[in-house]
C-alpha cells in the first residue's frame, strides 16, 4: 500500500516506521515545517513536501496532526481518492465527510516521543471506518502492526481519550510536581522511580480501586493536614485537598 503521512511529529514518526517495517511504501511526508518534514523523510528514504498542493497520489492519507490543525489541512488536500484517516482520539470521524467517500480513524492509544522507541506490537490501536469495507481495511492494517487491534466508534474513542488523559497526561503532570518538591530539597527525582514502577506494575494484577493506598485512602486526616500545612503554593494546596477528599469519599 502507498501511504502519505501528513505530519512529522511523534505519532507520525512512529506510525511511518511501523508501516515501513511491514512493507508498506511511505511515498511522502508532509509538514508545514520543512526541517521536520525533511528530517523524517531522510530517515525513511522518501519524498517530503511543505505544501498540500505538492502532495502525491496514494492509497491512504494518514493525518497525524494536532487536533487544532486537522480540519484546516483536510480542507486544503485536493485528493478525494484513496482512504483518508486521522489519528486523533477526540475528533469525530465525520470531519472527513465532505472530503472523500472512504475515510476513517486509526488511533494508537500510546504516548509517543520521537527519541523513545516503542514496541508497536503492544500498542492498542482503535480503528473506525465510514463503511464496512474501510473498517475492514483499517482493522487488517492494524493487525499487521499490533497484537491489540480494536474497532471503536467516535463516542467510545473520545471516552478512551479522556481515560488516557487521566491515566497518562495528568499522572505525568503529578510527576513534574513531585520532581519540583524533591528538587527544592536537593533530592533526585529518580528516588521515586521504584515507587512509580511498583504502582504501575501493581495494576496488572489488581483493579485500580483495590490498589489505592495513601493517607486519603486510610482517611488519615492528621497526615493530610500536615501535608497541607507544608504546601506553600495555594493552587497545589487546593489540588491536594480536593483529590484527597475525592479519594476519601470513594472509600467511605
Domains 2-152 and 157-250 share a fold: no
Q: What is the residue extent of each domain of the chain?
A: 2-152, 157-250
Q: State the pLDDT at residue 231.
A: 96
**What does the alpha-carbon distance between residue 5 and residue 29 come to, in Å, rounded to a whole number?**
5
- Using left for φ > 0, alpha for ψ between -120 and 50, and beta otherwise, residue 10 falls in alpha
Give per-residue pLDDT as tens, 118-137.
889 999 999 999 999 999 99
The CATH code of the domain at 2-152 is: 3.40.50.720
Q: State the pLDDT at residue 225.
A: 97
Q: State the pLDDT at residue 78.
A: 87
pTM of the model: 0.88
Ranges in the chain, pLDDT < 50:
none
Give per-residue pLDDT as tens, 168-184.
999 999 999 999 999 99
8 Å CB contact between 90 and 110? no
Q: State the pLDDT at residue 22.
A: 94
- Range 157-250 classified under CATH 1.10.10.410: no
Q: State the pLDDT at residue 116.
A: 85
Amino acid at each position: 500500500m502507498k501511504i502519505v503521512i501528513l505530519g512529522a511529529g511523534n505519532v507520525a514518526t512512529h506510525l511511518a516506521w511501523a508501516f515501513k517495517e511491514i512493507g508498506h511504501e511511505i511515498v511522502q511526508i508532509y509538514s508545514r515545517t520543512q526541517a521536520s518534514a525533511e528530517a523524517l523523510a531522510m530517515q525513511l528514504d522518501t519524498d517530503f513536501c511543505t505544501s498540500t498542493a505538492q502532495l502525491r497520489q496514494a492509497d491512504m492519507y494518514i493525518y497525524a496532526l494536532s487536533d487544532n490543525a486537522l480540519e484546516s489541512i483536510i480542507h486544503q488536500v485536493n485528493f478525494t481518492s484513496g482512504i483518508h484517516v486521522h489519528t486523533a482520539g477526540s475528533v469525530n470521524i465525520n470531519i472527513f465527510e465532505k472530503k472523500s467517500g472512504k475515510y476513517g480513524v486509526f488511533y494508537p492509544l500510546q504516548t509517543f516521543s520521537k527519541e523513545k522507541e516503542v514496541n508497536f506490537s503492544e500498542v492498542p490501536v482503535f480503528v473506525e471506518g465510514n463503511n464496512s469495507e474501510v473498517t475492514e481495511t483499517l482493522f487488517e492494517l492494524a493487525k499487521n502492526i499490533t497484537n491489540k487491534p480494536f474497532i471503536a466508534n467516535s463516542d467510545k474513542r473520545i471516552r478512551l481519550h479522556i481515560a488516557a488523559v487521566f491515566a497518562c497526561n495528568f499522572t505525568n503532570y503529578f510527576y513534574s510536581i513531585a520532581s519540583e518538591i524533591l528538587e527544592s530539597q536537593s533530592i533526585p527525582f529518580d528516588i521515586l522511580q521504584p515507587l512509580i514502577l511498583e504502582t504501575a506494575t501493581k495494576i496488572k494484577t489488581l483493579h485500580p480501586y483495590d490498589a489505592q493506598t495513601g493517607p486519603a485512602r486510610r482517611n488519615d486526616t492528621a497526615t493530610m493536614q500536615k501535608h497541607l500545612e507544608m504546601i506553600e503554593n495555594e493552587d497545589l494546596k487546593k489540588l491536594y485537598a480536593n483529590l484527597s477528599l475525592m479519594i476519601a469519599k470513594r472509600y467511605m
